[in-house]
Amino acid sequence: MDTEGEYAPATAAAARERYDALGPTAQVVVKEVAKAMEMDADEYDERVTGDVIETARDALFASSLRVHVGTRAEYEAWLEDHPDHDVQVVGSEHVDNVVWHVAPAAGTVVAATFQDERRAAVGTLRRQAFGRVYRDLLDV
């Protein structure tokens, strides 16, 4: 089992603080992407809405979430050692690997199963964790 990412907020307040702190970064990222796409000021003003900035902030938040990646046996052993979490799993029970995020702020573990495509599974899991756990905690 190994771990990717650094963030697993302990409380809803910590999650909100992190999310709020990413607002300026999201604005800079979107502005730089628009510049690379050669958008002029009028096109930028027309196309870059608050929803675009919020989507960038959502993606930045989700992409920093700490996830564990391991075999099904490693995941099941981890669950046995942490029985106090609600568990949400997406994917098939007939594959060998699992990626999971522990969300202490919600007392939840969100997991996704995968066979070969680790990078895709990690990305999917982070989006799932954001949508299933943090969106409600953040009220976004």
Q: Which two tokens stand for residue 46?
A: 């027309």
Model pLDDT for residues 95-111, shown as the tens digit of each residue: 999 999 999 999 999 99
**pTM greater than 0.85 (yes/no):** yes
Q: Which amino acid, residue 44? A: Y
Distances (CA, A) of 42 to 24, 47, 109: 21, 9, 44
Region of 71 please: left (phi>0), alpha (psi -120 to 50) or beta: beta
Is residue 140 very low, low, confident or very high in pLDDT (cuts 50, 70, 90)? low
Is residue 139 very low, low, confident or very high in pLDDT (cuts 50, 70, 90)? confident
* H/E element, 123: helix 118-129
Model pLDDT for residues 19-45, shown as the tens digit of each residue: 999 999 999 999 999 999 999 999 999
